[in-house]
Amino acid sequence: MSVSTLINISECLHISIDYLFFEQAHINTNNNVLHSLINKCSEKEVNIIESLIKLLLPHLAR
């Protein structure tokens, strides 16, 4: 995984890169599923997923 992809994932999930590396034990089950799915993706696929999430987030009820 490239540094730019790592940064994109961090920004997309609204978590720090430190959290990605050091807080793995505290990620909930849903995030574990997302994490394992993203790990199977190519960099191009991750970029597409990131774009889709950015498009969806403003439209989700918070």
Q: Which of 4, 6, 13, 5 is nearest to 57 (CA)?
A: 13
Q: Which of 45, 54, 42 is nearest to 12 (CA)?
A: 54
Number of domains in the chain: 1
DSSP classification of residue 25: G
| Domain span holding position 36 | 3-59
> What would the pLDDT profile of 12-61 be if each residue is shown by its tens digit?
888 888 777 776 545 556 677 788 888 899 999 999 999 998 888 888 76
> Which pLDDT score, from 0 to 100, does residue 19 have?
77
Inter-residue contact 7 to 17 (CB < 8 Å): yes
